[in-house]
Amino acid sequence: MTKIEINNVSMNFEVEESSTSALHKIYLHLEDGEFVSIIGPSGCGKSTLIDIIAGLKKPTQGTVIVGNREVTGPGPDLGIVFQDYSLFPWMTAYENLRFAIEHTNENLEPKEIVEKSKKYLDIVGLSKFANKFPNTLSGGMRQRLAIARMFATDPKVFLMDEPFGALDALNRVHMQDLLIYLWSRGDKRETTLYVTHDVDEAILLSDRIVVMTPSPGQIKEIIDIKFERPRCRNDIVKCAEYIRLRSNLLSLLNEEMLDALAEQEKHMRDLV
Ligand SMILES: Nc1ncnc2c1ncn2[C@@H]1O[C@H](COP(=O)(O)OP(=O)(O)OP(=O)(O)O)[C@@H](O)[C@H]1O
Ligand SMILES: [Mg+2]
């Protein structure tokens, strides 16, 4: 059972004289196998929350529990796709994958590691680019490589921070389908926290969508998405319920964006 429990988490960043409150009293529980998306304005603390769950940042207040473990540092059961991909620039695409597989699954034979690395490169359509270094790949290819790396390590929890942001529309659709396929392979679904700016993507993928307020990020609303799975994108977009959900989400986000923009404008006026 891999539940995620975020209990009363707040995060302040103290840099020199100034303090930024990035998250304020976040309380969110994900059930085993649940797919939850987070959506909210830029700077509302989405990546900070992912880093805290991954054990890469310690919250100023509150606790995170993954499975039965209180998170105090990074663990192998968590698979992460970072917003900036975080690939090793000195390793080829193949070596990036092999390294991740080797270090998260010490029981595999060398032959199995090679096979698995190749299989996941193939799954994301990068076999031809196995020997390329990340700086010679396009943004979308780097993103696909980061996604392959996460899947290849068989994590119990997926933490994904705008993983498809740099993909063109066609690749995005392909990767969304692949994600859902890998998420629900076998009879076990992996607990997933997924950050996106894309309302349609959030509805298609999620069991629940968490809408956040601008800085300091707080949970504004949590919306249940009850469409049966498997979901067919061409069918659900025609449902009245889809149109209602989409417009509700967009107006919630618009309120937040307008507040954030007004705040930013006031700050700029104070500066000049
Ligand atoms: N290491 C840090 N030091 C100081 N402030 C930070 C640090 N990391 C993040 N912040 C601040 O915390 C807030 C939340 O940042 P975060 O990156 O989590 O936002 P986000 O919701 O992921 O934004 P985006 O949608 O643009 O990716 C911002 O105000 C940011 O400036
Ligand atoms: Mg972010």
What would the pLDDT profile of 113-133 be if each residue is shown by its tens digit? Answer: 999 999 999 999 999 999 999
Closest residue to atom 6 of ligand 1, CA basis: 13
Distance (angstroms) between ligand 2 centre and the Cα of 115 equals 33
Which residue, by CA, sits nearest to atom 7 of ligand 1?
13
47 lines ligand 1 (CB under 6 A): yes
- Which of 11, 24, 37, 47 has most ligand 1 atoms within 8 Å of CB, for mutation? 47
Q: Which of 162, 160, 167 is nearest to 139 (CA)?
A: 167
Ligand 1 in reach of 216 Cβ (< 6 A): no
Count of Cβ atoms closer than 10 Å to residue 77 Cβ: 15
Q: What is the pLDDT of residue 186?
A: 67
Q: DSSP string of 209-222?
A: EEEEPSSSB-EEEE
Residue nearest (by alpha carbon) to ligand 1 atom 30: 43
The predicted model gives 58-70 an average pLDDT of 95
For residue 212, which ligand has an atom nearest its CA?
1
Our answer on whether the CB atom of 253 is closer than 6 Å to any ligand 1 atom is no
- How far apart are alpha carbons 196 and 41 in whole angstroms? 10
Domains along the chain?
4-77+156-271 (3.40.50.300)
Whether the predicted pLDDT of 260 surpasses 80: no
Mean pLDDT (whole number) for 81-92: 91
What pLDDT, on the 0 to 100 scale, is given for residue 166? 83
Count how many Cα atoms sit within 13 Å of the Cα of residue 272 in the half-sphere of its side chain: 5
Instruction: Give strand ranges (E) for the chain.
Output: 4-15, 18-30, 35-39, 61-66, 69-70, 78-81, 157-161, 191-195, 208-212, 219-224
Interval 209-219: pLDDT, tens:
999 998 889 99
Residues linked to residue 20 through DSSP beta bridges, in sequence order? 13
Q: Is pLDDT at 257 greater than 80 in this prediction?
A: no
Chain segment 161-186, per-residue pLDDT in tens: 999 988 889 889 988 998 998 888 76
Confidence at residue 7, expressed as pLDDT on a 0 to 100 scale: 98
Across all residues in the chain, what is the average pLDDT? 92
Is the distance from the beta carbon of residue 43 to the nearest atom of ligand 1 less than 6 Å?
Answer: yes
CB of 22 within 6 A of ligand 1: the answer is yes
Q: Residue 69's beta-bridge partner residues?
A: 66
